[in-house]
Amino acid sequence: MYQNHPREKARIALAGAGCRCMGILPLLLEMEDVRVTAVCDPYPDKAQAAARLAEEAYGEPIAVFTDHKQMLAQENIDGVVICSSWATHCRIAIDAMRAGKYAAIECGGGASLEELWELVRTQQETGVPCMAMENCCYDLKELTVLNMIKQGLFGELVHVEGGYGHDLREEVSFGRENRHYRFDNYMHRNGELYPGHAIGPIAKYLNINRGNRMVSLVSMASKSAGLHAYLKEKKGDEYDATNAPWAEGDIVQTMIRCAGGETILLTHDTTLPRYYSRFGCVRGTKGMWQEEENRVFFDGEGEGETWAHAPKPFDPLLEKYKHPLWKEFEKEGVKGTHGGIDWLVLRALVESMLAGTDCPTDVYDAASWMAVTVLSEKSIATGSAPVAFPDFTSGEWIHRKPYLRGKYCLDEVCTDFFEEDAPAPEGE
Amino acid sequence: MYQNHPREKARIALAGAGCRCMGILPLLLEMEDVRVTAVCDPYPDKAQAAARLAEEAYGEPIAVFTDHKQMLAQENIDGVVICSSWATHCRIAIDAMRAGKYAAIECGGGASLEELWELVRTQQETGVPCMAMENCCYDLKELTVLNMIKQGLFGELVHVEGGYGHDLREEVSFGRENRHYRFDNYMHRNGELYPGHAIGPIAKYLNINRGNRMVSLVSMASKSAGLHAYLKEKKGDEYDATNAPWAEGDIVQTMIRCAGGETILLTHDTTLPRYYSRFGCVRGTKGMWQEEENRVFFDGEGEGETWAHAPKPFDPLLEKYKHPLWKEFEKEGVKGTHGGIDWLVLRALVESMLAGTDCPTDVYDAASWMAVTVLSEKSIATGSAPVAFPDFTSGEWIHRKPYLRGKYCLDEVCTDFFEEDAPAPEGE
C-alpha cells in the first residue's frame, strides 16, 4: 500500500494537449482541491491553448513545456495525467514514476510487451502509483452491472462482451490535417487499437489480476473498406489518402480466454457507418445483460416456453441496483463530460492523490488492458494465431485480494463510504 | 445442370423419425405433388409413429425400415430427406446419391473433413443433386436482407454475424431419457455444433463458393457451466449427468475470414438462460442491419453528429424490400412450422425434384457449412489455432456463377417467376 503524505491540493500536470486534454482540463480547473501546474505538448500551439484555459481560470499563467522530461523535473507536480498520443503513454508514465509523480494513463493501447513490462517493473521499483484512467469503468450502466454481478444476479459468469463502436471516419481520415495520431495508427497498424472502454469494466467483472487472469487471445480483422469509401465520397480519388493502403481492418474482433474458463469477445468498429455502442453483454448461469438492447433476462422467466423467452427492460434494475457512487453523484449533481464519467475517473485519481494512497486501478490493470492491443496485432499478423497473455503479476494474481480502499474502488462494491445503506438485496 | 426426367409427384422418403421428422412430415403429407413412400429409424417405435401419421393421411400404410440402406434399395423413392442424428447425415446422403436419389440434408454439423470430401466426390461422380436443407435461408428477414444486399443498400459488405441462441438446456440434459442425439454430442464434443442457421444465409449474402470462399477459421469455447447449474437445480447432485464432464462450452464463438476480406462471426449459445436469437448482423460501407434489435442504420443519417447517430426500425424496410418469394407466400397464405420457413425449404426441394433439376443449395454449400463444425472442433482442440478452410470446389469457386434456376434460388433475387414486378428500387 502506497503511503505518501496526504495533501490538501493535488498538483496535476497534463502530458498532451490534444482533444482529451481540452476535455478534462476544464473539469480539473473546476476542482477546488486540484491545482493544474503545468502542461506539455510537442506542438507549442496546442500546449499554449491549454495553458490559456488554465490562466483564464486561475488568473495567472501555468508552466508550458514541449518536452515531458523537462516538465517532470518540476517540483510542483504530484501527478501527471497522460493524455498524449497512444504510442507515448508508456514512456511518459515510466518517466513520471521515476520522477516520483503519480502516473495516470488515459485510454489507448500499448505498442510492445517490452514497454509494458518496463511499466510494471518501474512501478514495482519506484512504488509510485500508476492508474489506468478508464472512464467507462465509472459509467452508470457498467457500475450497476458490477453491483449486480457482485450480488450474484447473473450466477456464475461464463462470457462477457464489449467493444468500441464509434463512427470515427471523419476524425481518422482527416487526422493528418488535424494532427491527430489516429491517422498514422490506422494507416499503419491492424489490431484492437482501443480496448480500454470494453476491457476495463470487463476486467473488473471478472476479477482479472485478482483471482483470475487473461490467458490467451486471438484476433481477426476484416478488410479495410470503410475509409476508402468514405474518402472517395468526401475527397475523391485524387486525394492521396483515399486509395492509400489503410492497414486497420474495419471490424477487428478479439476472443480472450481467462484462467477461470470465462471467454471475452471484444469488437473494435470505428470506420463503418454506425451509431455509438460499447456492445456490453454479460452472460452467466442465471442471467444476461445486454447494453445495446438495454435489457436483461433472468433464468426461469418464461420457463417451459423456451422459444418465447422474453427479455425485459434494464431500466428498472438500473434504478434498483444503482451503485452507491452513482446514487451520491446524482444527489450532488452529475457533472462533467461524457455523462459524468470523466468527472468520476478524475475524482478517483484526485482523491487517491490527496490521501497519498494507491489508486482503484493499478499498473497491472494498465499493462494487461494495454497488452490487448499488442497481442491483437501479433495475432492478426500471424493469421489469427492464438497468443499467450503475459502474466504481469508474475503469479501473484492467484492470491491478490480486491483493492477495497476508497469509495471509487472497482473490485467490490464498497458501501462504507456512503451515507445510504447498501442497495436492497434481490427480492426485497 | 442435372437433367433427370420431370415428375408429376415427388416420391420422398425420410431417414430419421425424431423431432424434426415429426415436424416436417405433416407438411409433406399435405402437399398434393408429394408422396411420402417410406420412413426409417433405428428405433422401430419412432419409425412406426411416423408411419402412422402417413397412414392416417393416405389411408394406407407406407414402408417402414430400421436400416437406411434397405430403404434406399426401394424403387419408389426419388429423394430422401435426411433428418437423422447429426453424425449419420453424411453417410446416408452418400448412400442416397449412390442409389440415384436426391439427398436432402437437414441442419447439423459434420464430424470429419474426410466424410465431407466423400460427400462432394460422390455427388460429382453420381451427378445426383445434394441439397443443404437450411430453412433459415428462407426466413422473411433473411430473404429481405438478401434482397437489400443484392440491391446494394449496404454498400460493399465487410462483416457479417449470425448464430444460434436457443436455450436447449432441457432438451440437451434430458436427451438421454428422450433418446436425443444432442446429449451425446454435448457430452463429448466441443465446437460450433449447429452452424447452419447462421452460415446458410450468410454464405448466400457473401457469394460463398460462387466468387468467394471461406479461407480460415478460428474458434474459442467458454467453460461449460450452464448444464451443471441447470441439472443441479432440476435433479440434484446425485444425478450422474449433473457433475459429468460436459465437453461443449456454453458459448462457442467462431471467426471466419473470406477470400474477399470479409469476416464472419458465429455464436453457438444453447446452454445458458436466454431468449431465442440468430444474432443476424450485416455491415457494409453504406449501412448495417441488426436482427436482435430489429433495426437498420444507413450512412449519412445523422451526419455531423456521430455520437448521436440513431438507428431506425427494420419493419418498414421489411415491407419495402420484401423478397418476391415472400410476397407470393403471403398472398397464398403462409403455412407450415417455424413461421413458414419449413414449408419454403421443402418446396424448394420438391419443385427441384419435380423439374428434375439441381437444387438452390448444393453439395458445396452442404460440405462447407458442415465443415464449420469440424474446423471449429479442430481449432478449439488446438487452443484456438487458426485452421485453413478446405476448398471443396477445388478452385472452381473463382468462376462458378450464381444458380439462377427456379424461384427458390438464393444466389440472386430472381423475379421472373413471380407475377409482381421487382421490388421498388431505393428512393422510389
Whether A426 shows a pLDDT value over 70: the answer reads no
Q: Which residues contact A332 (CB under 8 A, 6 or more apart)?
A: none
Q: Does B404 touch chain A (CB under 8 A)?
A: no
Q: How far apart are CA A333 and CA A349, in angstroms?
A: 19
Domain boundary among B128, B154, B176: B128
Q: What pLDDT shows up at residue B309?
A: 60
| B153 phi, psi to nearest 5 deg | -65, -30
Q: Give which of A157, A220, A253, A382 to mutate to test B binding, by max B Cβ within 10 Å.
A: A220
Helix, strand, coil percentages, rounded to 5, for chain B:
40, 20, 45
Q: Which residues contact A134 (CB under 8 A, 6 or more apart)?
A: A107, A196, A197, A200, A201, A345, A361, A365, A369
Specify if B339 maps to a domain.
no
Q: What pLDDT shows up at residue B304?
A: 47
Q: Does B294 touch chain A (CB under 8 A)?
A: no
Specify if A425 maps to a domain.
no
Q: What pLDDT shows up at residue B307?
A: 47
Nearest residue on chain A to B232, judged by CA atoms?
A285
Q: Does B155 touch chain A (CB under 8 A)?
A: yes
Q: Which residues contact A286 (CB under 8 A, 6 or more apart)?
A: A152, A153, A154, A155, A156, A298, A299, B229, B273
Q: Are B225 and B369 in the same domain?
A: yes
Q: How far apart are CA B10 and CA A425, in angstroms?
A: 62
**B336-366 burial by CB neighbour count: b if 16+ within 10 A, else e?**
bebebbbbbbbbbbbbbbbbebbbbbbbbbb
For residue B425, give how far its alpha carbon lies from the nearest alpha carbon of chain A (Å). 21
Q: How far apart are CA B125 and CA B119, in angstroms?
A: 10
| B263 phi, psi to nearest 5 deg | -115, 155
Specify if A413 maps to a domain.
no
List CB contacts (< 8 A) between B294 and chain A: none
| Cell numbers for A295 | 435489457
For residue B341, give how far its alpha carbon lies from the nearest alpha carbon of chain A (Å). 16
For residue A191, give how far its alpha carbon lies from the nearest alpha carbon of chain B (Å). 14
Domain boundary among A128, A162, A189: A128
Q: A223–B253: do the CB atoms touch at under 8 Å?
A: no
Q: Are B113 and B141 in the same domain?
A: no
Q: Are B144 and B169 in the same domain?
A: yes
Q: B272–A253: do the CB atoms touch at under 8 Å?
A: no
A227 near A174, Cβ under 8 Å?
no
DSSP state of A73: T
Q: Give which of A250, A268, A290, A303 to mutate to test B binding, by max B Cβ within 10 Å.
A: A250
Nearest residue on chain B to A168, judged by CA atoms?
B306
Q: Are B75 and B210 in the same domain?
A: no
Q: How far apart are CA B330 and CA B146, in angstroms?
A: 18
Q: What pLDDT shows up at residue B176?
A: 87
Q: Are A86 and A43 in the same domain?
A: yes
Below-50 pLDDT ranges, chain B:
304-308, 422, 424-425, 427-428
Q: B222–A158: do the CB atoms touch at under 8 Å?
A: yes
Range of the domain at A369: 137-323+362-388
Specify if A89 maps to a domain.
yes
Among A253, A310, A383, the residue with its CB nearest the CB of B386 is A383
The answer to pTM > 0.90 is yes
List CB contacts (< 8 A) between A293 and chain B: 292-293
| Contacting B residues, span 337-376, partner chain A, CB-CB under 8 Å | none
| Cell numbers for B181 | 442425439
Q: Which residues pair with B218 in a beta bridge?
A: B255
Q: Does B251 touch chain A (CB under 8 A)?
A: yes
Q: What pLDDT shows up at residue A106?
A: 97
Specify if A394 maps to a domain.
no
Percent of chain A predicted with pLDDT > 90: 87
The answer to which of A21-25, A261-265, B304-308, B419-423 has the lowest mean pLDDT is B304-308
For residue A173, give how far its alpha carbon lies from the nearest alpha carbon of chain B (Å). 14
Q: Does A159 touch chain B (CB under 8 A)?
A: yes
Q: Are B164 and B85 in the same domain?
A: no
B252 near A419, Cβ under 8 Å?
no
Q: Would you mind telling me the total number of residues written for chain B in this entry?
A: 428
Q: Are A304 and A368 in the same domain?
A: yes
Q: Are A187 and A163 in the same domain?
A: yes
Q: Does A285 touch chain B (CB under 8 A)?
A: yes
The answer to which of A170-174, A192-196, A394-398 has the lowest mean pLDDT is A170-174
Q: Does B261 touch chain A (CB under 8 A)?
A: yes
Among A251, A299, A300, the residue with its CB nearest the CB of B158 is A251
Q: Does A275 touch chain B (CB under 8 A)?
A: yes
Residue B85 sits in a domain whose CATH number is: 3.40.50.720
User: What stretches of B88-238 show up as alpha helix (H) in DSSP?
Assistant: 89-98, 113-126, 140-150, 169-173, 182-188, 196-205, 226-234
Tell which residue, B250, B340, B307, B273, has the closest CA to residue B27. B340
For residue A279, give how far its alpha carbon lies from the nearest alpha carbon of chain B (Å). 12
Q: Does A225 touch chain B (CB under 8 A)?
A: yes
Among B220, B230, B273, the residue with its CB nearest the CB of A257 is B220
Q: Are B276 and B379 in the same domain?
A: yes
Q: State how many domains chain B has.
A: 2
Torsion, Cα of A107, A108, A109, A115 (10° steps): -80
Specify if B344 maps to a domain.
no
| pLDDT category of residue A307 using cuts at 50, 70 and 90 | very low
Among B273, B300, B302, the residue with its CB nearest the CB of A286 is B273
Q: Does B225 touch chain A (CB under 8 A)?
A: yes
**Mean pLDDT confidence for A126-137:** 98
List CB contacts (< 8 A) between B167 and chain A: 306, 309
B283 near A268, Cβ under 8 Å?
no
Q: Are B176 and B288 in the same domain?
A: yes
| pLDDT category of residue A207 using cuts at 50, 70 and 90 | very high
Tell me how far the alpha carbon of residue B105 is from its chain's centroid. 9
- CB atoms < 10 A from the CB of B5, how many? 6
Nearest residue on chain B to A251, judged by CA atoms?
B159
Nearest residue on chain A to B276, judged by CA atoms?
A307
Specify if A337 maps to a domain.
no
Q: A275–B253: do the CB atoms touch at under 8 Å?
A: no
Q: How far apart are CA A11 and CA A20, in angstroms?
A: 19
Q: Are B57 and B152 in the same domain?
A: no
| B236 phi, psi to nearest 5 deg | 85, 175
DSSP conformation letters of A413-425: ---TTSSSPPPPP
Q: Give which of B197, B228, B255 to mutate to test A binding, by max A Cβ within 10 Å.
A: B255
Domain boundary among B92, B111, B128: B128
Q: Are A144 and A256 in the same domain?
A: yes
Residue A257 sits in a domain whose CATH number is: 3.30.360.10
Specify if B380 maps to a domain.
yes
Among A250, A261, A297, the residue with its CB nearest the CB of B223 is A261
User: Mean pLDDT in chain A?
Assistant: 94
